[in-house]
Amino acid sequence: MTQPNAVWSLSGFGDEIDPDPAVQAAVLLALGASHIEVRSAWDVNVSELEKEAVERLKGIFDEKGLKVSAVASPIGKVDVSLPVEHEVSRLRQIISVAKGLDAKYVRIFSFYRAEGQGQEEIRDDVMERMRALAAEAEASGIVLLHENEKGIYGDTPERVLDIMETVASPALRAAWDNANFVQVGVKPYTEGYAMLRPYLEYLQVKDALADTGEVVPAGQGDGELDATIAALQADGFTGFASLEPHLDNAHELGGYSGPVAFGIAARAFAALAARNGVELV
């Protein structure tokens, strides 16, 4: 029996297109997206956006008819030796941005360790900080999305699962990034999907080559995106798929693609989605 078509909300990292949110919105809408993921605007990171800038940003998106899927924060992309309150206070600022943009989700990370330290040495400190962040989010009605990023504690499926099970908060879920798993030597679908599916609430779309770690359009690397999309469709996933192509040189605010490469990435993902019975809106 053929599975019915799934409908996923298409989003994307606006600042991978252009620093200007009006340009970001126009390109995403042209590519069929209904949402945008906000990491920076006018070359200012979300952690530093003032209230007036957030209001201006919301006005642009409202005018274009674009909603915000998530605020892509840098929380947890710091050394774990910093005090717990360091990231909790930054999260409060970012939660105010998320509220101003009517966004439910805030993307976070799970901390770097010092050179020479092993992952197990920082585990307890990571969990203390992740619990504090989740408690802050839960009190605010926000859901944190932990992204599996190379170099942080939660870079492999096993350690992401450790975080999810240990923190055990409804305000902490997983943002799944196939390319980042590839870059730490993981076969994403084969080695991580079944383990993390109960926590998987948000798909960040990019692919990578296992040999070099180079990021490539969806389906052109070793990220097992085809199998991942098929499994999510079969499981009844109806969440966000957010384009994060990283197809050009990274800049200080994160990955970058530019409008042309971003379009290439969007069309590659759309083809994979269509092949697996997923409608992107």
CATH number for the domain spanning 149: value is 3.20.20.150
Q: Mean pLDDT check: name the lowest of 37-51, 78-92, 237-251.
A: 237-251
Domain span including residue 164: 6-280
* Average confidence (pLDDT) over 179-197: 98
Q: What rounded mean pLDDT belongs to the chain?
A: 94
Q: Give the pLDDT confidence score for residue 254 in this predicted structure.
A: 47
Answer whether residue 165 is part of any domain.
yes
Answer whether residue 112 is part of any domain.
yes
The helix or strand, by DSSP H or E, that contains position 201, with its residue range, turns out to be strand 200-205
| pLDDT band at 255; cut points 50, 70, 90 | low
Beta-carbon count within 10 A of 120 CB: 10
pLDDT digits (tens, 9 = 90+) for 55-103: 999 999 999 999 999 999 999 999 999 999 999 999 999 999 999 999 9
* Average confidence (pLDDT) over 5-29: 96
Answer whether residue 274 is part of any domain.
yes
The helix or strand, by DSSP H or E, that contains position 144, with its residue range, turns out to be strand 143-147
pLDDT digits (tens, 9 = 90+) for 220-231: 999 999 999 999
| pTM reported for the whole predicted model | 0.95
Does pLDDT of 4 surpass 90? no
DSSP type of residue 8: E
Tell me which residue of 206, 160, 224, 170 sits closest to 16, measured CA to CA.
206
Answer whether residue 142 is part of any domain.
yes
| pLDDT band at 243; cut points 50, 70, 90 | very high
| pLDDT band at 259; cut points 50, 70, 90 | confident
Answer whether residue 159 is part of any domain.
yes
Q: Give the pLDDT confidence score for residue 21 in this predicted structure.
A: 98
Tell me if 23 sits within 8 A of 83, measured CB to CB.
Answer: no
122-146 burial, b for 16+ CB within 10 Å, e for fewer? bbebbbebbbbbbebbeebebbbbb
Q: Give the pLDDT confidence score for residue 247 in this predicted structure.
A: 76
Answer whether residue 161 is part of any domain.
yes
Share of the chain above pLDDT 90, in %: 92
Our count of domains for the chain comes to 1
Answer whether residue 1 is part of any domain.
no
* Average confidence (pLDDT) over 245-272: 77
Q: Give the pLDDT confidence score for residue 57 in this predicted structure.
A: 98
Tell me which residue of 176, 145, 154 sits closest to 244, measured CA to CA.
176
pLDDT digits (tens, 9 = 90+) for 210-219: 999 999 999 9
Q: Give the pLDDT confidence score for residue 258 in this predicted structure.
A: 80
Answer whether residue 33 is part of any domain.
yes
